[in-house]
Structure 1
């Protein structure tokens, strides 16, 4: 296991709490993803309500194997899980990881939950784990995600063409972004200022 990269401590601020993903989050997450049938978005991999428990168990299996670190995204006001996020591609030797496999229910989108969660994950990555770089990846056609990643302060590194065969047989071009350690102080200042207006 890429310890401590694979650990999942509770991370929280006034806007959001990240809890270690657990089967007990399944009901909340199934309800969150059902709003607007979010899982039907063709360029994402979001579990359907009836597949949520299976996806949680898959992520927990990967966590036990030391390959990722999964969290539930929880609203501190209600205590309800509203999405999931994960550290992927854990590379402790090179002090790198990816923040990905993230989704938020429609009701939580545009509320400040996403930048608040990303701030927590970036603080852990850079300040606690000593990362030199944190990566983000998304589908070329996921313009909402690409814009959200850019708003965090990440810079686009490039596009991996014909990178992944999708379930429907289409090919995903993967857009790769990153934040490097020298950029982190400015990214943190911008995110903190952005959240002050929430």
Structure 2
């Protein structure tokens, strides 16, 4: 994967940059592989993620379930709040070929 520095402080993001630790600033990046792109999560990913989140099977091994618009919106807002507080860098997982969001992930529990 390669990182595109400087990307990520887009509209809809609740991030306050830069997050700074002993290693220097911690900033959102876009990571691209052959099939998917991890891009900084934004609230406008909600519509694209809703069909994926509606499948209860993906929540089988998790402690929370977000199959409705309201609970998924809360999940994204919580991830963005953690980002704004410097505790996490959440990403949307997007298919490169189509631009369709297919999931999300994050680097979490960041201690600065």
- Which residue does 1:60 correspond to in 2? 80
Q: Higher Cα Rg: structure 1 or 2?
A: 1
What is the deviation of 1:16?
A: 0.8
Alpha-carbon separation, structure 2, partners of 1:67 and 1:91: 7
Alpha-carbon separation, structure 2, partners of 1:39 and 1:49: 13
Alpha-carbon separation, structure 2, partners of 1:88 and 1:40: 19
Matched, 1:83 2:103: yes
Structure 1, unmatched stretches of 5+, are 93-198
Matched, 1:15 2:15: no
In the alignment of these two chains, the number of paired residues is: 89
SS at match of 1:14: coil
**Partner of residue 70 from structure 1, selected from 74, 83, 90:** 90
Alpha-carbon separation, structure 1, partners of 2:108 and 2:29: 16
SS at match of 1:91: coil
Alpha-carbon separation, structure 1, partners of 2:38 and 2:65: 18
Given that residues 2 and 91 in structure 1 are in contact (C-alpha distance below 8 angstroms), is that contact kept between their aligned partners in structure 2? no
Q: Which has the higher contact order (CA 8 A, sep 6+)?
A: 2
**Partner of residue 47 from structure 1, selected from 47, 56, 66:** 66
- Which residue does 1:25 correspond to in 2? 45
**How is 1:1-198 mapped onto 2 (pairs within 5 angstroms)?**
1-2=19-20, 4-5=25-26, 7-35=27-55, 37-38=56-57, 41=60, 43-44=61-62, 45-50=64-69, 51-92=71-112
